[in-house]
Copies of this chain bind each other. A is one copy, B any other.
Amino acid sequence: MKAAIVLLSGGLDSATVLALALEQGYVCHCLSVDYGQRHRAELDAAQRVAKSLGAQSHRVVKIDLNGFGGSALTDSRIEVPIGGIEPGIPMTYVPARNTIMLSLALANAEVQKARTIFFGANAVDYSGYPDCRPEYVQAFEAMANLATRATDEGHRLSVISPIMHLSKAEIIQQGVRLGIDYSMTVSCYKASEDGLACGQCDSCRLRLAGFEGARVSDPTRYQ
């Protein structure tokens, strides 16, 4: 049985990544990171998704990034933009977040003797985040192989981003094909405690446009 670590945020993208990893026959250990994000409902969503899709295990690692600030997602003094998507790196970018989460996945992979990390980065719909670029993921994988016992033990670690080049509509089509109930997932940056979406933040806008593009009715629970 081949084991994999799947980074699971509770959103639509990583739920689809988990379903794709399971379809490929991986035994999936899911990892979510509680980094003090304001949309904490996504952590409950991650738990629902892991259980519902059939992950082997689900672990939440807590780390305090609030002290660092610098992002609308971790600093309550910075507002989440709701006026529509603008060019450039958005205020919701959390400094080095994906690097921290992939590093934790790497630690987990080494302990679980998993040689594969699944990561839901996407370069199509949202190119504003530097740590979602394909060349970033490749550089992380190269570093990971030098960081760990992997090379010494004669094998390689892989970081797989199966939705990197899919549009949001194509991601949703994959998920629908695999039977995901997307009402379980929470994408909204301003989600209420019980996971209801605002419909106005960038993440809500991209998600809604994705369902429209996929010609799938939007199951999102709005406020």
Contacts and interface: CB of A to CB of B under 8 A. Distances in A.
For the complex formed by this chain, how many copies does it contain in all?
A: 2
Nearest to A133: B146
A146 B139 contact: yes
Interface string A113-151: 000000000000000001101011001101110111101
A95 interface: yes
Nearest to A144: B99
Nearest to A106: B96
Interface string A100-120: 101110111011000000000
A115 B100 CA distance: 18
Contact of A99 (B62, B97, B103): B103
A96 B102 CA distance: 10
A65 interface: yes
Contacts of A68: 107-108, 111
B70 A96 contact: no
Q: Which 4 A-B pairs have the closest CB atoms?
A: A96-B107, A95-B110, A70-B111, A139-B143
